Amino acid sequence: QRIERRLAEREKSQAVLQYADPLFFATRSLHFMPDPWQEGVLQWQGQKLLLNCCRQSGKSTIAAILALHRAIYFPRALVLLVSRSLRQSAELFKKVQDQLSVLPVRKLDEDNKLSLQLTNGSRIVSLPGSEETIRGFSGVSLLIEDEASRVSDALYLATKPMLAVSQGRHILMSTPWGKR
């Protein structure tokens, strides 16, 4: 019985570890079948990522999955969604909410149109693209900048200190827009 209990515990812990993998989480929990490039993004282990993709390629969907995964599997994580306008960051946040609605159990302490907080203390917050109003967040675990080619340099520079101490991950995603 003792050995059987240990084997059962090991299987259970391995299942938890599998779900901690973003690709496994996306395919098994969210029933999302990624394109090959999206699969590579889900397996990304770095600190900074630039996605320069055509419109309607699925970059917002894959970013929403990564944001939700970070919030679920990293307790007390702070995930920020930034864009040039509040409307754009709210659209990305809506994609996070859509992914969350697929999960059988939703453990929310707070949910509104611009942010949510899970029972594990993690938060996902969408913010407008104003460097004057974005300041004040620290310990950011994941920062996603949508339409980064159109975000002002001032906004980009205002976000850098948010990641300095926490060594958080930074995703810049955009459609091409000239040399910028």
Rounded to the nearest angstrom, the gap between the alpha carbon of residue 66 and the centroid of all alpha carbons in its chain is: 4
Task: Write out the E strands in 26-99.
Answer: 48-52, 78-82
Q: Which of 35, 135, 20 is nearest to 71 (CA)?
A: 20
Write out the chain's pLDDT in tens, 180 residues: 666 776 666 666 666 566 678 998 899 889 999 999 999 999 998 999 999 888 888 899 999 999 999 999 999 999 999 988 888 889 999 999 999 999 987 677 767 788 999 999 999 999 887 777 777 788 899 999 998 888 888 888 888 888 888 889 999 998 876 655
The DSSP 8-state label assigned to residue 103 in this structure reads S
First vs last Cα of the chain: how many Å apart?
Answer: 64
- In the chain, DSSP finds a helix count (H) and a strand count (E) of 7, 7
